[in-house]
């Protein structure tokens, strides 16, 4: 859904962009105009006419740069237009020579250049537009000629030197007057197109010379200056002044003619509109003329009115055009904004349509999903009801089962207590009566108590689960209380060679505890410590005190607990990954609950062993709604939590047995069970014990006839031990009986995969174990028979069975060395990579005879074949089978076969 919203938003933004981009005007052609200056009206008129014309061409964009009559500035501005790559460049040069190179540069850059009004040097430009200034000079001269009857003197006031109009106007003027000797240019003043440049000089000239008849000024502005000077000298009626430009409007040449200030003016059109038209033509790719000469005309009193009228009309039209243009521009703008608005509206409309469609689709979909959901909901409700019913039934049945087991557990307590107390009273009798059974009574007491403890644990767990455990705190001196418990473990510590240290701290420290609970907690933690601390390890119990609490620390040097299990270790049924020993998994859970009922805490850490810390708050304020007893009575911990008096567990000795009796290795960490097994099996077998820590080493050392192995063992488990023994040539032949509490299919399968021969689960029937032992040995006997009687067949085959392969290798080595009388058992063992003793035991186990007997049998067997099948004499045969003395060979042969070699040969 979110992605769909994102998508539609993106579409919307794209549409808006597209619709707005429609507003962007198409790229326009750029015309750059470099204007020489804009100080006078003639130039302003030129710019205006250009702008008006450009506005008629919507595809054109005009930019005017004003050089302010500075040559360097004009060059820079033209350069900028070149950089900009304008489409057409129009230049009105200030002067010809300095501006020529930069115009050539533009031409070289491929930009067409239109030169307007003033010219440049040479012809390297695209087009020129302007009036013929020679003709203007000529027309001025002609005007004077036609209006003079006699001689007349003339002063010429020229435009700026270096600009083409000034130069050309002068040429045209002079050349024409040259043909009329009566008319003389008596003086020439060099102006710069502005009146200020000539007024002083003209004034002083008029003071010194005869008043001229005519003054020809190269433009109207200087002509105005001349008139002002003449007037100042009251000569205005005596001097006829002629100007150039003929601008329309106030202060323009036409107005001056009309006002009688000037005699005449020569119309000098700006050519602005024409230049833009030509630029447009160039852009359109049309051909244009290189020289576009504008028409000029003399305006004097005769035609000034007509001219003014015409200009008036033109001006009127120009203004109309400008107004219309403004209206058009406004309309275009309105059109543009409206069309943008319409586009946006269309987009919005489309979006609206899309969203409407989408909403309809969503509504339909939601309705459909709702229907499906309702159906599913109904199904779920039905299922939930069924589950609830089922759960209710299950709860009831579970509850009744748990109640049944709880009741049963309670029931167990009585007979177990009876058994314990009865056997304790038996154990208390004078020692002589118990001679021989003291250890068994101890076993019974020990295990009955263990059972009782487990049952109590179960009942405590149940009570805690139901929340029916009531705490009964009693004021207690914690150190003596704890010492009692620690002391109970002293004999256990001695038996296991574990160093048990108690650091009591302040003996008078008092806390309020439920003694029964804390007795169980401390016992549990301490017995765990013993469970996981190896021989010669350390256990430390310490009591520390702070302002608000008392902490009891139990630290052992056992295998420790992985960090990730610190929290879970207190969960019910939790079995630590390091803990291979059988356990209910309730002890630590119950301990934690008990400590928490005291508002205390229990935590574990592990660094070279495990460390449990129990903290109990001082005082009694934390016990709310609980009766607290202040009377410190003696505390007797319950018998089930007492460790039994340890009667030294002498290992039952092996009774006198036939030295050929088979050997059994029992790998079992429960010393009680291994004690019982050894005692029972010792009547028939040589029994060896391993607590699991050295099972493989013992098996390799003894090479027993049978191995009985537990699965849950401290260092390596039974699967690993069995697997290793079965894959070792030295022990692979030994039948292995697994004796375990694990009754699941997976464990059975795993054990069989590891090579176990028999799998018996605890509790087991001793007779079954005995029979299993017998049948394992009998099977081995059968194999032995097979190997000894079909030994020749073992030669060339490839066997899956490790034993057969072993025999094949053995026979091959013996065969290879049969001729060597010094071939020893050591050498043979070396070749087979096992020790002499292991070879002896393996061969004995597999074949029932010693290895040396086997080698001899092989020698004599071969000798018998040779006697029967070869022509060799007896001595030769004796040497062939490795006898150094033929006599000794004959004796040995007769001993084995009851017939001498000689007799057999004949
Ligand atoms: C304007 C002007 C005109 C003159 C022209 C010659 O700046 O001085 O009066 O006719 O330039 O280029």
CB 191 within 8 A of CB 165: no
Task: With cut-offs at 50, 70 and 90, classify the pLDDT of residue 788.
Answer: low
Q: What are the contacts of 409-413 at 24+ separation with CB within 8 A?
A: 409/455, 409/458, 409/459, 410/459, 412/451, 412/455, 413/452, 413/455, 413/456
Q: What is the pLDDT of residues 294-341, one digit of tens each?
A: 999 999 999 999 999 988 898 888 888 888 888 988 998 999 999 999
User: What integer best gives the mean pLDDT of the chain?
Assistant: 86
How far, in Å, are 469, 472, 515 from residue 625 at the CA level? 14, 11, 18
Q: What is the pLDDT of residues 357-408, one digit of tens each?
A: 999 999 999 999 999 999 999 999 999 999 999 988 888 877 777 777 777 7
Index of the ligand 1 atom closest to the CA of residue 166: 6
How far, in Å, are 716, 772, 811, 837 from residue 695 at the CA level? 9, 20, 31, 18
User: Has residue 23 got a pLDDT over 50?
Assistant: no
Average pLDDT over residues 863-877: 88
CB 156 within 8 A of CB 185: yes
Cα 159 to chain centroid, rounded: 82
Please give the Cα distance from 340 to 368 (Å, whole number).
41
Index of the ligand 1 atom closest to the CA of residue 42: 1
Average pLDDT over residues 187-197: 96
Average pLDDT over residues 663-684: 88
Query: Would you state the structure tokens that stand for residue 187, as one six-digit string?
Result: 């003086």
Higher-scoring residue by pLDDT: 169, 434: 169
What pLDDT, on the 0 to 100 scale, is given for residue 220? 97
Higher-scoring residue by pLDDT: 566, 852: 852
Q: Does the CB atom of residue 859 touch ligand 1 within 6 A?
A: no
Q: What is the pLDDT of residues 500-510, one digit of tens each?
A: 999 988 888 99
**Cα dihedral sign for 803, 809, 815, 820?**
negative
What pLDDT, on the 0 to 100 scale, is given for residue 897? 85
Index of the ligand 1 atom closest to the CA of residue 118: 12
User: Has residue 179 got a pLDDT over 70?
Assistant: yes
User: Has residue 796 got a pLDDT over 70?
Assistant: no
Q: Does the CB atom of residue 137 touch ligand 1 within 6 A?
A: no
Q: Does the CB atom of residue 252 touch ligand 1 within 6 A?
A: no
Average pLDDT over residues 340-350: 94
Q: What is the pLDDT of residues 407-433, one digit of tens each?
A: 777 677 767 777 776 777 777 766 655
Q: What is the pLDDT of residues 574-624, one digit of tens each?
A: 666 565 555 667 888 889 999 999 999 999 988 888 899 999 999 888 888
Q: Does the CB atom of residue 225 touch ligand 1 within 6 A?
A: no
Task: With cut-offs at 50, 70 and 90, classify the pLDDT of residue 639.
Answer: very low
CB 423 within 8 A of CB 448: yes
Burial class (CB in 10 A: 0-12, 13-18, 19+), 863: buried
Query: Which of 627, 629, 598 lies closest to 615, judged by CA?
Result: 598
- Closest C-alpha residue for ligand 1 atom 9: 219
Q: Minimum mean pLDDT among 144-148, 185-189, 340-344, 883-887: which range?
A: 883-887
Q: Does the CB atom of residue 194 touch ligand 1 within 6 A?
A: no
What pLDDT, on the 0 to 100 scale, is given for residue 24? 44
Q: Does the CB atom of residue 757 touch ligand 1 within 6 A?
A: no
Domains annotated for the chain, with CATH where assigned, are 132-268 (3.40.50.2300), 470-617 (3.30.565.10), 663-774 (3.40.50.2300), 791-905 (1.10.10.60)
Average pLDDT over residues 508-529: 90
Please give the Cα distance from 483 to 488 (Å, whole number).
9
Task: With cut-offs at 50, 70 and 90, classify the pLDDT of residue 675.
Answer: confident
Q: Does the CB atom of residue 118 touch ligand 1 within 6 A?
A: yes
Q: Does the CB atom of residue 263 touch ligand 1 within 6 A?
A: no
Q: Is the pTM of this model over 0.85?
A: no
Find the 595 Cα to ligand 1 centroid distance in Å: 114
Q: Does the CB atom of residue 158 touch ligand 1 within 6 A?
A: no
CA angle 846, 848, 850 (to 5 degrees): 100
Higher-scoring residue by pLDDT: 734, 397: 734
Q: Does the CB atom of residue 193 touch ligand 1 within 6 A?
A: yes
Q: Does the CB atom of residue 165 touch ligand 1 within 6 A?
A: yes
From 118, 132, 193, 218, give the residue whose CB has the most ligand 1 atoms within 8 Å, as the site to mutate: 193
Query: Would you state the structure tokens that stand for residue 648, as one six-digit string?
Result: 């030294």
Q: Does the CB atom of residue 268 touch ligand 1 within 6 A?
A: yes
Which helix (H) or strand (E) element contains residue 128?
Answer: strand 127-131
Average pLDDT over residues 784-811: 66
Please give the Cα distance from 534 to 553 (Å, whole number).
19
Task: With cut-offs at 50, 70 and 90, classify the pLDDT of residue 13.
Answer: low
- Closest C-alpha residue for ligand 1 atom 4: 219
From 162, 165, 194, 256, give the residue whose CB has the most ligand 1 atoms within 8 Å, as the site to mutate: 165
From 48, 134, 223, 245, give the residue whose CB has the most ligand 1 atoms within 8 Å, as the site to mutate: 245
What pLDDT, on the 0 to 100 scale, is given for residue 437? 65
User: Has residue 791 got a pLDDT over 90?
Assistant: no
Pairing of strands 758-761, 736-740: parallel
Q: What is the pLDDT of residues 463-498, one digit of tens each?
A: 887 777 888 899 999 999 999 889 888 888 888 889
Q: Does the CB atom of residue 219 touch ligand 1 within 6 A?
A: yes
Q: Does the CB atom of residue 245 touch ligand 1 within 6 A?
A: yes
What pLDDT, on the 0 to 100 scale, is given for residue 532? 83
Q: What are the contacts of 882-889 at 24+ separation with CB within 8 A?
A: 882/817, 882/818, 882/819, 882/820, 882/821, 882/823, 883/821, 883/859, 884/821, 889/863
Average pLDDT over residues 704-724: 90
Find the 219 Cα to ligand 1 centroid distance in Å: 7
């Amino acid at each position: 859904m979110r992605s769909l919203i994102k998508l539609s938003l993106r579409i919307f933004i794209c549409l808006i962009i597209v619709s707005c981009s429609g507003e962007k005007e198409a790229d326009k052609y750029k015309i750059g105009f470099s204007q020489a200056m804009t100080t006078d009206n003639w130039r302003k008129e030129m710019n205006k006419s250009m702008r008006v014309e450009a506005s008629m061409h919507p595809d054109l964009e005009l930019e005017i740069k004003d050089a302010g009559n500075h040559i360097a500035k004009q060059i820079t501005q033209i350069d900028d237009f070149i950089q900009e790559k304008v489409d057409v460049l129009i230049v009105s040069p200030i002067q010809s020579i300095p501006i020529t190179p930069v115009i050539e540069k533009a031409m070289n850059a491929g930009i067409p250049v239109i030169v307007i009004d003033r010219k440049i040097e040479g012809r390297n430009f695209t087009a020129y537009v302007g009036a013929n200034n020679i003709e203007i000079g000529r027309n001025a001269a002609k005007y004077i000629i036609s209006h003079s009857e006699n001689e007349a003197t003339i002063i010429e006031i020229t435009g700026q030197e270096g600009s083409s109009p000034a130069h050309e106007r002068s040429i045209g003027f002079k050349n024409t007057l040259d043909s009329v000797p009566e008319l003389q240019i008596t003086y020439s003043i060099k102006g710069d197109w502005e009146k200020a440049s000539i007024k002083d000089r003209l004034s002083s000239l008029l003071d010194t010379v005869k008043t001229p008849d005519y003054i020809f000024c190269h433009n109207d502005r200087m002509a105005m200056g001349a008139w002002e000077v003449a007037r100042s000298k009251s000569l205005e009626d005596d001097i006829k002044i002629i100007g150039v430009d003929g601008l329309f409007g106030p202060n323009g040449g036409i107005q001056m003619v009309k006002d009688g200030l000037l005699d005449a003016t020569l119309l000098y059109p700006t050519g602005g509109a024409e230049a833009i038209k030509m630029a447009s033509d160039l852009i359109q790719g049309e051909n244009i003329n290189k020289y576009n000469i504008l028409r000029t005309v003399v305006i004097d009193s005769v035609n000034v009115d007509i001219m003014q009228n015409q200009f008036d009309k033109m001006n009127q039209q120009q203004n109309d055009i400008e107004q219309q243009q403004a209206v058009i521009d406004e309309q275009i703008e309105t059109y543009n904004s409206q069309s943008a608005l319409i586009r946006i509206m269309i987009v919005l409309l489309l979006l609206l349509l899309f969203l409407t469609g989408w909403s309809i689709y969503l509504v339909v979909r939601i309705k459909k999903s709702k229907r499906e959901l309702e159906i599913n909901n109904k199904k779920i409700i039905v299922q939930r009801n069924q589950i609830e019913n089922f759960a209710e039934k299950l709860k009831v049945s579970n509850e009744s089962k748990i109640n049944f087991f709880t009741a049963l557990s309670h029931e167990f307590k009585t007979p177990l207590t009876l058994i314990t107390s009865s056997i304790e009273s038996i154990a208390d009798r004078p020692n002589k009566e118990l001679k021989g059974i003291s250890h068994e009574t101890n076993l019974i007491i020990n295990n009955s108590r263990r059972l009782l403890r487990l049952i109590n644990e179960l009942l405590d767990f149940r009570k805690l689960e139901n929340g029916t455990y009531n705490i009964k705190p009693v004021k207690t001196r914690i150190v003596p209380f704890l010492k009692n418990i620690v002391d109970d473990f002293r004999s256990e510590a001695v038996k296991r060679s574990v160093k048990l240290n108690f650091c009591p701290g302040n003996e008078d420290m008092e806390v309020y505890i439920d003694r029964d609970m804390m007795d169980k907690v401390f016992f549990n933690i301490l017995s765990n410590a013993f469970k996981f601390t190896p021989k010669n390890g350390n256990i430390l119990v310490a009591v520390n005190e702070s302002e608000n609490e008392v902490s009891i620390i139990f630290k052992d040097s056992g295998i420790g607990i992985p960090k990730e299990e610190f929290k879970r270790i207190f969960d019910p049924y939790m079995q630590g990954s390091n803990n291979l020993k059988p356990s209910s998994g309730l002890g630590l859970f119950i301990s934690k609950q008990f400590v928490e009922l005291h508002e205390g805490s229990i935590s574990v850490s592990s660094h070279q062993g495990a460390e449990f810390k129990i903290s109990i708050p001082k005082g009694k304020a934390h016990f709310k709604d609980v009766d607290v007893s202040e009377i410190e009575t003696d505390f007797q911990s319950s018998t089930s939590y007492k460790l039994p008096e340890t009667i030294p567990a002498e290992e039952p000795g092996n009774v006198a047995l036939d030295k050929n009796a088979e050997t059994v290795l029992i790998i079992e960490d429960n010393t009680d069970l291994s004690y019982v097994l050894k005692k029972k099996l010792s009547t028939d077998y040589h029994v060896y014990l391993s607590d699991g820590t050295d099972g493989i080493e013992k098996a390799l050392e003894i090479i027993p006839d049978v191995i009985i192995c537990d699965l849950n063992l401290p260092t390596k488990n039974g699967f690993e031990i069995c697997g290793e023994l079965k894959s070792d040539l030295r022990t692979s032949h030994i039948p292995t009986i697994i004796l375990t509490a694990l009754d699941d299919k997976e464990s059975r399968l795993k054990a069989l995969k590891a090579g176990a021969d028999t799998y018996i689960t605890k509790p087991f029937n001793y007779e079954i174990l005995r029979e299993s032992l017998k049948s394992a040995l009998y099977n081995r006997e059968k194999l032995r028979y097979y190997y000894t009687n079909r030994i020749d067949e073992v030669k060339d085959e490839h066997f899956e069975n490790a034993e057969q392969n072993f025999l094949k290798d053995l026979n091959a080595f013996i065969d290879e060395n049969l001729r060597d009388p010094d071939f020893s058992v050591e050498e043979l063992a070396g070749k087979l990579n096992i020790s002499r003793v292991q070879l002896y035991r393996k061969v004995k186990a597999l074949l029932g005879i010693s290895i040396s007997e086997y080698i001899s049998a092989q020698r004599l067997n071969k000798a018998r074949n040779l006697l029967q099948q070869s022509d060799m004499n007896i001595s030769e045969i004796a040497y062939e089978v490795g006898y150094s003395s033929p006599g000794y060979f004959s004796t040995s042969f007769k001993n084995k076969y009851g017939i001498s070699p000689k007799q057999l040969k004949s």
